[in-house]
Structures are given as C-alpha cells and as structure tokens.
Structure 1
Amino acid sequence: MRKRDWDTARAILAGADPEHLSYYVTVAGGVRDVTRWITGPIREEPDSALPVLIRGAALVSLAWEVSEAAGESGESPEVRQAWAKADECLDEALRLDPACADAWAYKIEVSRAAALPVEERWRRFHRMIEIYPGHWYGHVEMLMALAPEAGGTTGAMLEFARTRAAACPATHIPALVVRAHLAHHAHLEKLRNPAGKGAIADWSYLERDDITDEIWDAGQLSVFHDDYHETLLTPIPWNLFAYAFTYGDILKQASNLYEVISDDWITREPWGDMDFFLASRAYTHRNLG
C-alpha cells in the first residue's frame, strides 16, 4: 500500500479469511495518503467494495485527525463533515457488498465518534454480528461506544463484555471483559489524578477478588479454553490477560503469558509503550517467588 501497488494489495486482501481481512483492512486504511490514490482503483473497479472499504477506513482515520485538531471545538462543521464523509463511504461499500462486516465495524466507530444515539450504535453492532459474530475490532468499538467517555456507563460496558463473552466461548471475545475492567480502572485513575502526573497508580480495583475472579473466568473462556485456536490476533488477548494478571496479582499465570509473548508478540495496547511492558514483566518475574 505504501508503494501504491494495488494489484498486490488486492490479492492479499481478497484472499484473506474474515479475521485476517479485518486486521489487514486496519493496516491498509492506516497508510498515509491512501485516500489520494485509492480513488483510481475505485474508478477502475466500479463493482468492487474492497477499494471503497479501504477508502472508508482511511477517511475514519482522517476524521479522527480533524477531530483532534479541532480540540474543544469538536462539534465544528468541519468535524461533522469529516465523520459524515467517512460514513457515506462505508455506506457505499455496503451497497456494493451487503455482507461486509468490516464496513459495519467502522460504522460503529463512526457512530461513537459522531455521538449518534445509542440505539443507532446498537443497530450497527447487531448488523455486524449477523454477518460475522466474532469480529474482534467491531466488538471493541461497541465496548468503547458504551463507555462513560462516549456517553454510556461502566455498567453497560461491563454487561456488554460479559454477555458477548458468554456468547462467544473459545474465541478472543471474552478478553473484552479485561478491556472493560481496564477501561474502568483508567477512568478511576483519571478521576483520582486528573493531571496524570506525579502519582503512583492505584491498582486496588484490579486486585479485588471479584474482579480477579471474573478476569480469570474470562481467560478460561478465551485463550485457555480447550477449543481455542491461536490466530493472527491471539497476541491481543495474550497481552490483555498478561496485564490484568500482573496487576491483579495472579503472577504465575502472568509469567506464563510473558513467556509466550516473549519479545515477538508485544502489542501496543494495553501497555502504551515498551518501557511499561518491560517494567511489568520484570515486576512479575521479580515477585513471582
């Protein structure tokens, strides 16, 4: 995509299974300046949803940039127009391919960013899981769409994570329970320390017995389930559970995950940066005995 070699990119995307495709679309849509040239393949392939989907994904990224640049004036006409443009492009992808679950996943993201009613957020989510019940990125977007920062509540976010975990055993989806608890922990930290400077993190929430028990159970439904199969996205739940086990004081299981993750499968989330990952791993190994 950086070389604007659409023929090769299309062959990779078109040959991918649904899970790989969901990941590849995030990569392709994040390539800088892709919107400037993907219009060529769109014109040349008027019946193909694929280049339109990539443009929609790229427009979502651009809309976030416009929103961040607007700062306090996030309700400006420019911001609203950016999100509407992304949504219209995703609608076009769905017109060309009504079974495009990835378009619905991005439309969930748009519904959150554009502050659409919660009923519309749910409508988009339900349309996505009708097509692909295990779409990880779409589930994450719906979780975020129910978070307090998006006008939702912690209770709604946790209930969604629990319900979907129970509905999708032996998949990545139960790791949403970790995402939900980490999001609430981050919310508590922000309330405790709004400036985000100088204070040592308070891990007492993640150390609560009811929280550690629920996260443990989610692990048994996910990566530790007998029927779970490792995939391209498996490092995501590995890292989520490693974080939760570390700061929930389940150090033996955290250590096992660090061994699997090694130096090859470290994900940006939930650590934020490499220094925090390394410090967390060292803390686990140091305190394990």
Structure 2
Amino acid sequence: MTFFRRRSRDRSVPPAVDPACGNETLALMLRQAEAGDWPALCAGLAAVEDPSELTWLVAGVSNVAGTEEGLAKAVADRPDSALPLLLSGARQISWAWEARTRARSQHVSQEQWRVFGERLEVAEQQLFEVAEREPDWLAPWYFLQISGRGASLDKEAGRIRFEAALRRCPGHLDSHRQRLQQLCAKWGGSHQQMHAFARESMLAAPPGSPLGELVVLGHLERWLDLPSGADHSYLTSPDVLAELHEALGRSILHPDYVRPAGWQSAYNTFAMVFALVGEKWTARQLFEAIGPTVTESPWHYLSGDDPAKTFTALRERCAK
C-alpha cells in the first residue's frame, strides 16, 4: 500500500530553502518584488480568487528585503487600490521582525524594541485601512494577528482578530498557526491552552483537513521548552507518539487531504518530528514526498543558520 504520494526526485539536486516552495506564481512574484515591478505583481494578485492562496502569496512577498521604500511609492501612486497597501502592511511586519531579530526578549536592545514598535504601528494602521476598504478580505486579519502579537495586545484582541479571519475563511491553516503561537507559554499563554486549542481544532475539522499539523506544532513548542534529555523523553512518550500518528492520519496522510499552495511546510514539520522520535520509515516517506524543498520553519528550531544542512543530516540518518 502506498501511504504517501511521491514525487520523482533527482538526488543530484541538493536540498535548499525555497521561499517559493516550488510554486511558479510565487517565484514570479518574488522576482517582481525584487525588481520593484509592483503594477505587474498587483495585477497577478488581483487575479487570485482563493483568499487563502492570496494571503499566502502576500506573506511570501513580504519577506523580500529592501522593498519598503518601493512599496511606499506604490501606495502613493495607487491611493485607491488596497493591494499595494496590503503588501506594504505585510512588509512592515516582516521588517519589524528583522529589527527585533529572533533573539530572546531579554537580549533585544531598547533601540531594537523602539524600531520594532514603530514598524508594527505602521503595519496596524495600513492593515486596518485595508480591512475597512475590503471587508471580505482574509489577508488583513491574518496579518493583524501577527502584528497584534508582536505589539503585545491583550488576549481578547488576539481572539477577535483570529475569529475575524475565520469568518472570512473557515479552517484557514495559517491563521490557526498564528493562534497557536498566541496561546504558547512564550507569548503569555500556557501549554495547556496551546494543546487544547490544537487538538480541538483538529477534531472539529473534517478528516483530511490540514489542521492536524497544529498538534505537531504544539508538541514541538513544548519540546523546545524542555531541557536536553527531557525533551526527547517527552516526544517519544507513548501518549505523544499516539497523538503524532493520529495527527498524521487525520491530515496529510488522509485520502481527502488536498495539497494547498505551500504544502511542503506541513510535510517538513511532520518529517522533522518523526525523524526526531526515530521513526525512520515514516520520516523517510515524508522526505521522499518533499524532495529537495526545505522550508525555514520548523528547521530553524534546530539550526537557525542553515535549515537545509539540518534537513539533509536528518534525512540521511533516516535513509539508513
């Protein structure tokens, strides 16, 4: 029986982080963003009908460094269009996190916090304006979840923004991922809240929903909080292993699962966790399905500087 849909993989192609996840539309938009061709990029976004895909594309473009000034000009040139404003708001969030870095809060300087806050404030203003102009759009509410968490807004504000996103796109995986982060202990939540949300979301969704990944992400967050030795014991405990397999079976392994744009992210998450717990056969099938496309998350948990190197090492370990 074939459990995973495999891709033909040329082993001569080394694994690498691909910001476009092999998606030709996003790859084109990334090139357009780098070139500052905002009219062409916005025309492409305007043709996208699926709200989840549109949000995913904007999120990808938001990570292109150095586009802030070009986007500010694009907003000024097209004041009646919400798309340049959406792109600018999303970019302000990524730009804010570039200033803050991934360092623990105690290692972030006052100047970094100041710049972080200023950029998030611009993002909030722009995204709320987009939401007012285009009340049916998912995208501004997705990004407002991220900016709100960064700005340390109260829990009620986070819940309202998450629910606003789901009213526009029920079952939106990326919004659920953001909500999971909001409920993490490191953002003022708790392990209990995080695990309850992940499991309840998975079970409330139909089989084949991608929301099973939330259970895995929750266990990885808990694993990160534990000291060496205790972390491995936690992930390999019978109860956690059972939940990992249940999540796999209800999501990407289920016959009703449909791969969305950026599907490689969930596969990378499952591959990493099953490699970490030593279930080589399952991890190997996932690595085969992924091919050479590495996503930065969750591999940055193991190696922030070189996710592809960590991916390759674990893939080779599971191949033996």
TM-score between both structures, scaled by the size of structure 1: 0.88
How far off its partner does 1:76 sit?
A: 5.3
SS in 2 for 1:134: coil
State whether structure 2 residue 260 is matched by structure 1 residue 215. Answer: no
d(CA) in 2 for partners of 1:202, 1:76: 31
d(CA) in 1 for partners of 2:83, 2:256: 32
C-alpha change, 1:267 and 1:14, in structure 2 (3 Å) is: same
State whether structure 2 residue 45 is matched by structure 1 residue 13. Answer: yes
Instruction: Tell me: higher relative CO, structure 1 or 2? Use CA pairs within 8 A at least 6 residues apart.
Output: 2
Identity over aligned residues, as a percent?
Answer: 29
1:98-177 equivalences in 2 (<5 Å):
98-169=135-206, 170-177=208-215
Residue of structure 1 aligned with 2:309, choices 269, 275, 284: 275
d(CA) in 2 for partners of 1:11, 1:201: 51
Q: What is the aligned partner in structure 2 of residue 36 from structure 1?
A: 69
Asked if the contact 2:96/2:115 (under 8 Å) is kept, the reply is no
What is the root-mean-square deviation of aligned Cα atoms in Å? 2.1
Q: How many residues align?
A: 276
Q: What is the aligned partner in structure 2 of residue 228 from structure 1?
A: 257
How far off its partner does 1:115 sit?
A: 0.9
Q: Which runs of 5+ in 2 are unaligned?
A: 1-32, 301-306
State whether structure 2 residue 53 is matched by structure 1 residue 25. Answer: no
d(CA) in 2 for partners of 1:175, 1:78: 33
SS in 2 for 1:270: helix
d(CA) in 2 for partners of 1:12, 1:206: 43
Cα shift readout 1:35-56 (whole Å, capped 9, x = no counterpart): 2122333234333211111000
Q: What is the aligned partner in structure 2 of residue 196 from structure 1?
A: none
State whether structure 2 residue 118 is matched by structure 1 residue 84. Answer: no
How far off its partner does 1:74 sit?
A: 7.4
Asked if the contact 1:48/1:96 (under 8 Å) is kept, the reply is no
Cα shift readout 1:10-57 (whole Å, capped 9, x = no counterpart): 122112222321221012222223221223332343332111110001
Residue of structure 2 aligned with 1:185, choices 223, 246, 250: 223
Q: What is the aligned partner in structure 2 of residue 285 from structure 1?
A: 319
TM-score between both structures, scaled by the size of structure 2: 0.80
Asked if the contact 2:138/2:168 (under 8 Å) is kept, the reply is yes
State whether structure 2 residue 244 is matched by structure 1 residue 206. Answer: no
Q: Which runs of 5+ in 1 are unaligned?
A: 194-199
1:237-252 equivalences in 2 (<5 Å):
237-252=266-281
C-alpha change, 1:28 and 1:229, in structure 2 (3 Å) is: same
* Partner AA of 2:286 in structure 1: L
Asked if the contact 2:52/2:169 (under 8 Å) is kept, the reply is no
Asked if the contact 1:63/1:86 (under 8 Å) is kept, the reply is no
Cα shift readout 1:96-150 (whole Å, capped 9, x = no counterpart): 1112211111111112111111111111000000001232222211111111111
